Amino acid sequence: MTVTSVDKDLDNLTLTLIADFSAPVERVWQLWADPRQLERWWGPPTYPATVEQYDLTPGGDVSYFMTSPEGEKHYGWWRITSVTSPTSLEFTDGFADQEGKPSPDQPTTNVRVQLTEREGGTRMEMRSTFDSREQMEQMVNMGMVEGLQEAVGQIDAILVG
Amino acid sequence: MTDETVDRLFHALADATRRDILRRCVRGEMSVSRLAEAYPMSFAAVQKHVAVLERAGLVTKQRRGREQLVRMDPDAVGRARQALDELETAWRGRVDRMSRLLAQDPEENDPTEGPDR
């Protein structure tokens, strides 16, 4: 088991995940710092990520898209807040529109990653916090309303038919 | 869900105005008076639509001062849990893929029996 612990703080809308890898810190850092390696784990295999822009400096931007099995592109971005190579990284993670521009009405999370050496391997602590409860609810609601609209569309079709 | 609950839900969603109100409330709370400005109907008529949505459990109404604020479903804790669960699933997948990538590395420093249990 790589994931050592997971903690969900409902009051602070924070997920904290601790994972232990047997590889050294420098190597695990490369998974984050090398966009070609990042592409190989950021998105699920069915939604592979392609990194278009990658500037791992404070204030820098990362932009990427994930391709759905149907070939649709879903854009996302990071805005880097702090970097201390090879041990820590902090960024805002958000969605973008079809042109790759950050969508202001979509929720963002703040992600902080810390790598520390532990028993010859690396402990990675990842903390992800939703910006606000409103945003988080919005994210869930969007999915819910889409589902409802779909259901309503089917009902409409039945009524018309 | 009981038949009655489903009936109420479908009835609430069977109207274009009510679906539109619901869509507007997804982005946060809306006052009934602001909603009323959006439709060519009386304040009372909009209020009635909101009441139907409320009975179906789709929105809640709260009074603040002179305003009545409408928002989607109040189960914030349930939703917080759902959102965090989704985030957890995403990150567990990422960590799995990270460790699989690391496992593909050529072994150079041969960590004689790692700390794996």
User: pLDDT by residue (tens digit) across A117-136?
Assistant: 999 899 999 999 987 766 66
- Residue range(s) defining the domain that contains residue B55: 3-72
Statement to judge: residues A137 and A158 lie in one domain: yes
Dist CA B99 CA B37 (whole Å): 55
Do B115 and A22 count as a contact with CB atoms less than 8 A apart? yes
B87 Cβ partners below 8 Å, 6+ apart? A15, A109, A128
Query: Both ends of chain B: CA-CA distance in Å?
Result: 46
Local structure of residue A19 (DSSP, 8 states): E
Q: What is the pLDDT of residue B10?
A: 72
pLDDT at B117: 44
Confidence band of B58 (pLDDT split at 50, 70, 90): confident
Contact (CB<8Å) B23/A28: no
Does residue B13 sit within a domain?
yes
Instruction: Please tell me whether residues A29 and A104 are part of one structural domain.
Output: yes
In a domain, B95, yes or no: yes
B12 and B53 assigned to the same domain: yes
Q: Is the pLDDT reported for residue A159 higher than 80? A: no
* pLDDT at residue A137, as a whole number: 67
DSSP letter for B34, please.
Answer: H
Q: Are residues A104 and A86 in the same domain?
A: yes
Cβ-nearest to B105 among A23, A120, A136: A23
B52 and B22 both lie in a single domain: yes
Phi, then psi, of A55 in degrees rounded to 5: -130, 95
pLDDT for A161: 47
Each residue's pLDDT tens digit, A30-74: 999 999 999 999 988 888 999 999 999 999 999 999 998 889 898
One domain for residues A86 and A147: no
Beta strands in B2-41 (DSSP E): 30-31
- Tell me, yes or no, whether B57 and B89 share the same domain: no
Q: Quick one: B64 and B87 in the same domain?
A: no
Contact A6 B93 (CB under 8 A): no
Task: Using pLDDT thresholds of 50, 70 and 90, give the confidence band for residue A81.
Answer: very high
Q: What is the pLDDT of residues B7-53, one digit of tens each?
A: 777 778 778 898 888 878 876 789 999 999 999 999 999 999 999 98
Looking up residue A116, the CATH number of its domain turns out to be: 3.30.530.20
Neighbour tally for B75: CB within 10 Å: 14
Q: Do B38 and B21 share a structural domain?
A: yes
Q: Is the separation of the CB atoms in A115 and A86 below 8 Å?
A: yes
Whether residues A13 and A81 share a domain: the answer is yes
Interface of A with B in 109-128 (CB under 8 A): 109, 119-121, 124, 126, 128
Q: Are residues A62 and A26 in the same domain?
A: yes
CB contact under 8 A, A8 and B76: no
| Closest-CA distance of chain A to residue B47, Å | 21
- CB atoms under 10 Å from CB of B98, counted, come to 23
Q: Which of residues 5-44 of A touch B (CB under 8 A)?
A: 6, 8, 10, 13, 15, 17, 19-24, 27-28, 31, 37, 40-42, 44
Q: Which residues of A7-42 are buried (b: 16+ CB within 10 A; e: fewer)?
A: ebeeeebbbbbbbbbbbbbebbbbbbbebebbbbbb
ipTM given for this complex: 0.79
What ranges in A4-132 are assigned the alpha helix state H? Answer: 25-33, 35-38
Answer whether B84 sits within 8 Å of A155, measured CB to CB: no
Q: Residue B97 domain-assigned?
A: yes
Residues A145 and A161 in one domain: yes
Backbone phi, then psi, for B69, in 5-degree steps? -100, 135
CB-based contact A8 B19, cutoff 8 Å: no
Is the pLDDT higher at B3 or at A4? A4
- Residues B15, B62 within the same domain: yes
Contacts of A125 (CB under 8 A, 6+ apart): A16, A17, A18, A113, A114, A116
Note the pLDDT tens digit of each residue in A6-41: 998 877 788 999 999 999 999 999 999 999 999 999
* Same domain assignment for residues B14 and B67: yes
Interface membership of A104 toward B (CB under 8 Å): no
Q: How far apart are CA B24 and CA A145, in angstroms?
A: 11
Looking at every residue in chain A, the average pLDDT score rounds to 85
Of A6, A120, A130, the CB nearest to B111: A120
Which residue of B10, B79, B96 is in closest CB contact with A2? B96
Please tell me the least confidently modeled range out of A1-5, A9-13, B54-58, B76-80: B76-80
Cα angle B28-B30-B34, degrees, rounded to a multiple of 5: 145
Q: In this complex, is the C-beta atom of A140 within 8 Å of any C-beta atom belonging to chain B?
A: yes
Domain extent at residue A103: 3-130
Residues B68 and B97 occupy one common structural domain: no
**Whether residue B90 sits in one domain with residue B79:** yes
Q: Is residue B96 located within the same domain as residue B56?
A: no
Same-domain status, A19 and A76 = yes
pLDDT at B113: 45
Q: Is residue B67 part of a domain?
A: yes
